[in-house]
A and B are shown apart, each in its own frame.
Chain A
């Protein structure tokens, strides 16, 4: 049960309306996915249920659901606003975009540009994006593959002590330490630098300690956060759909509504009076694209 359903819904409505407008202006199409999917190991999160001796997932992770449902590898620009369940009955609302079939860094620059316009449209001034690379870490641990699970766990915990205890060369530890703590606008990975330079925005950083562990992520990953909120607002990354390169992000609407101050513009025409004339006039105004407020 929601504590204050009506005021929370008003804030959700304000944010989702703004996001829909931004995504539409970028020429992204809204996608509507099923609430329930047959259970499949490629689907992430969701609430597992059994019905008629079959296992299903309710409201799984959207990107994995999208990949699960993609029958052809066509170029697509999509967005969604949906609730997602994470192995629990209480859900989180998410809004996200997926750009499938872009070319080179254009894919990432476009998706991150959408993200930055979302911040601007919502009037969020202190929101930042940290970009990291899974490929860079995979390359770094290639020659010490047997320790890769410990190294990725140390990244997940941000515990370099776990790497320090490994019986690996001192120079390798130094190299991993540099990656672990690198944060700036120009790093050792050309691809990330190109993305950050193309965006040329003070809110975007290269942070090589930023990693996200969804199995479909291929290389570039990013996290969205604000110093005003103790939890990430969202994140995203690069993945593949067959031969196509793709990139997307998801924003946590429950987190966003805590940061956004809604601006309700009320330019509706107030109508009162006899129902016969009142609703006739309301229909006329609405057909002209003008909002009405009946019997205020």
Chain B
């Protein structure tokens, strides 16, 4: 979509950091996706929307502490972050990468627990799931390509400044 002198592209959230890393000047994506993809890019601003959390989720009838999850199957769209979290707690788990509707996996007996985004908790409640531990807070982030920051220094700094002014009211 053309907006004045800019061209806006709409891609899948998981692809935004990759697009920005490989040459799109700026992008907006959640910190969950940015950390999962671990791309080489600049993150000049945290944006005041998309606030939620990445958490460990279990079926309501089977609540266990993280340390008791040795050997569990963990369904998630975030295999890197999930693996990092369980490793940091010294718990070996089997990570099963899922691409959507992860809340169905425990019901179908495919996974024991989930690592996923929690916002209001309504989806969890509707599927008899509970959030047992927050891994990290999530927020939308402004992303800037490393080279664009150098070669379009003034223009990008101006955009960042204007977004910041809007955020600060």
User: Chain A: residues with CB nearer than 8 A to chain B?
Assistant: 128, 130, 157-161, 181, 183, 207, 225-227, 229-232
The 22 sampled A-B contact pairs (Cβ below 8 Å) are A157-B42, A157-B43, A158-B42, A158-B149, A159-B43, A159-B46, A160-B44, A161-B46, A161-B164, A207-B150, A225-B151, A226-B147, A227-B147, A229-B23, A230-B22, A230-B24, A230-B147, A230-B148, A231-B21, A231-B23, A231-B147, A232-B147
Taken together as a complex, chains A and B put the C-alpha atoms of A230 and B20 apart, in Å, by: 8
Query: Quick one: which of B24, B151, B157 contacts A227, CB cutoff 8 A?
Result: B151
Asked if A183 and B146 sit within 8 Å, CB to CB, the answer is no
B positions within 8 Å CB-CB of A: 21-24, 40, 42-46, 144-151, 153, 157, 164
Query: How near does chain A come to B167, taking the closest CB pair, in angstroms?
Result: 10
Please report the C-alpha to C-alpha distance between residue A158 and residue B149 in the assembled complex, in whole angstroms: 9
Residue among A130, A158, A161, A181 with max Cβ neighbours from chain B (10 Å): A158
Task: Using A159-B46, A161-B45, A232-B147 as known contacts, list a sample of 14 further A-B pairs with CB atoms less than 8 Å apart, ordered by residue number in A.
Answer: A128-B150, A158-B43, A158-B144, A159-B42, A160-B44, A183-B150, A225-B151, A229-B147, A230-B21, A230-B24, A230-B145, A231-B21, A231-B40, A231-B147
Q: Which 10 A-B pairs have the closest CB atoms?
A: A230-B23, A158-B42, A157-B43, A227-B151, A225-B147, A159-B44, A230-B22, A158-B44, A230-B145, A230-B147
Tell me the smallest distance from the CB of A109 to a CB of chain B, in Å.
22
Using A230-B22, A230-B145, A231-B22 as known contacts, say yes or no to A161 and B150 having CB atoms under 8 A apart.
no
Cβ-defined contact, B146 with A159, below 8 A = no
* Interchain CA distance A207-B146 in the complex, whole Å: 13
Tell me, in angstroms, the Cα distance from A183 to B150 when the chains sit together. Answer: 9
Closest to B143 in A: A157
Contact pick for A225, options B150, B153, B157, CB 8 Å: B150
Chain B residue at minimal CB-CB distance from A159: B44
- Shortest CB-to-CB span from A227 to chain B, Å, is 4
- Contact check: which of B22, B44, B149, B157 meets A161 at CB < 8 Å? B44
* Residues of B close to A225: CB separation below 8 A: 146-147, 150-151
User: CA–CA, A159 to B22, complex, Å?
Assistant: 20
> How far does the alpha carbon of A241 sit from the alpha carbon of B46 in the complex, in Å?
40
A225 to B149 CA separation, bound complex (whole angstroms): 11
| CA–CA, A231 and B40, complex, Å | 9
Query: Quick check: B153 and A231 within 8 Å, CB to CB?
Result: no
Alpha-carbon distance between A187 and B25 when the two chains are bound, in angstroms: 27
Kindly list chain A residues whose C-beta atoms are within 8 Å of the C-beta of B150: 128, 130, 183, 207, 225
A230 to B144, CA, bound (A): 11
Which of B44, B45, B150, B151 has most A Cβ within 10 Å?
Answer: B150
* A159-B157 Cα distance, complex, nearest whole Å: 11
Of chain A, the residue at the smallest CB distance from B156 is: A158
A225 to B151, CA, bound (A): 9
Q: How far is the CB of B71 from chain A (nearest CB, A)?
A: 21
Are A157 and B44 closer than 8 Å at their CB atoms? yes
A88 to chain B minimum Cβ distance, whole angstroms, is 11
A226 to B146, CA, bound (A): 11
- Closest residue of chain B to A155 (Cβ to Cβ) is B42
A159 vs B101: C-alpha distance when bound (angstroms) = 34
Contacts of A230 in B (CB 8 A): 21-24, 145, 147-148
Chain B residue numbers with a CB within 8 Å of A158 are 42-44, 144, 149
- Chain A nearest CB from B39 CB (Å) reads 10
Contacts of A181 in B (CB 8 A): 157
Query: Which chain A positions have C-beta within 8 A of B146?
Result: 225, 231-232
The distance in angstroms between the C-alpha atoms of A157 and B42, with both chains bound, is: 5
In the bound complex, CA of A265 to CA of B155 (Å): 43
Minimal Cβ-Cβ distance residue in A for B144? A158
Q: Which residues of A contact B157 (CB under 8 A)?
A: 181
A52 to B153, CA, bound (A): 52
Q: Enumerate chain A residues within 8 angstroms of B24, measured Cβ to Cβ.
A: 230
